[in-house]
Amino acid sequence: MSSIFDPVKGFGVTFATMFKKVTTELYPEVKKPTAPRYHGRHVLNRHDDGLEKCVGCELCAWACPADAIYVEGANNEEGARYSPGERYGAVYQINYLRCIFCGLCIEACPTRALTMSNEYELADDNRRDLIFTKEQLLAPLRPGMERPPHAMRLGDDERAYYTRESHYRPVPPADPGEAYDQKAEFLFHAPQGSPDGAA
Ligand code: SF4
Ligand code: SF4
């Protein structure tokens, strides 16, 4: 049953909040580090010789509950390959207007081609720029890598390529702002000033 004091009680909450310490984030000047396993922008990873890990199988697209991924596979040509497999991802797009960053796509990927970084600045003022292309998603070429297409440099056949010792060896980060965890195949773009940014 309402009483004449109910409106006063409501203002009590307002007044109590007025005297609490205000938490102000100084973003974007000061960027708060994310949790190490934060699900941010995707990365399409490469092998040590620069070939793409994506084999164009579309499993990530089928796993996506938001229908945010579009893949078109194509056949590799011997001597001028994009991936060490039979096929590669000729077209690859992620629509960040749809993506809910659930990570189901990276769980579905059989080659660990697709992983997620810590990058979270994905706002824009138009729809087109939020559909990321393969070129935008591909990991940068690191020292010793060669831009595809080219032959498999790390083994004559798929068995030799995938069982080579260096397949399991850590890859050094390309610059101090990135730390590369080979065990988890996880490319980590640390925000500026992050204590985790140290390689
Ligand atoms: S993170 Fe989730 S919603 Fe985003 S592309 Fe992957 S499966 Fe789809
Ligand atoms: S990213 Fe992985 S799951 Fe998606 S098409 Fe490429 S290999 Fe297949």
SS3 sequence of 36-72: CCCCCCEEECECCCCCECCCCCCHHHHHCCCCCEEEE
Q: How confident is the model at residue 10 (pLDDT cuts 50, 70, 90)?
A: confident
> What's the 58 CA to ligand 1 centre distance in angstroms?
13
Tell me the pLDDT tens digit for each residue of 159-168: 888 887 666 5
Closest ligand to the CA of 108: 2
CB atoms within 10 A of CB 144: 12
Q: Which of 71, 105, 134 to mutate to test the pocket of ligand 1 (most atoms within 8 A of CB)?
A: 105
Tell how far the Cα of 156 is from the centroid of ligand 2, in angstroms. 23
Residue 188 is predicted with a pLDDT of 38
Counting ligands in written order, the one closest to the CA of 87 is 2
Cα torsion angle, 182, 150, 146, 109, sign: negative
- Domain layout of the chain by residue ranges: 39-189
Q: Are 103 and 63 in contact (CB under 8 A)?
A: no
In this structure, the residue with its CA closest to atom 7 of ligand 2 is 54
Q: Is the pLDDT of residue 194 over 60?
A: no
The alpha carbon of 57 and the centre of ligand 2 are apart by a number of angstroms equal to: 5
**Given pLDDT bands bounded at 50, 70 and 90, which one contains residue 185?**
very low
Please count the other Cβ atoms lying within 10 Å of the Cβ belonging to residue 94. Answer: 25
Q: What is the pTM of this model?
A: 0.77
Determine phi and psi for 151, rounding to 5 degrees.
Answer: -75, 165
pLDDT value at 198 more than 90: no
pLDDT given for residue 84 in this prediction? 92
Probe residue for ligand 2, chosen from 44, 46, 57 as the CB with the greatest number of ligand atoms within 8 Å: 57
In whole angstroms, what is the distance from residue 13 CA to residue 131 CA?
44
Measure the CA angle with vertex 161, ends 167 and 92; round to 5°: 80
Q: What is the mean pLDDT of residues 40-57?
A: 96
Dig out the tokens for 109 from the structure: 């990927």
Give 89-143 pLDDT, tens digit per residue: 999 999 999 999 999 999 999 999 999 999 999 999 999 999 999 999 999 999 9
Give residue 24's pLDDT. 87
CATH topology of domain 39-189: Alpha-Beta Plaits (3.30.70)
> 157 near 88, Cβ under 8 Å?
no
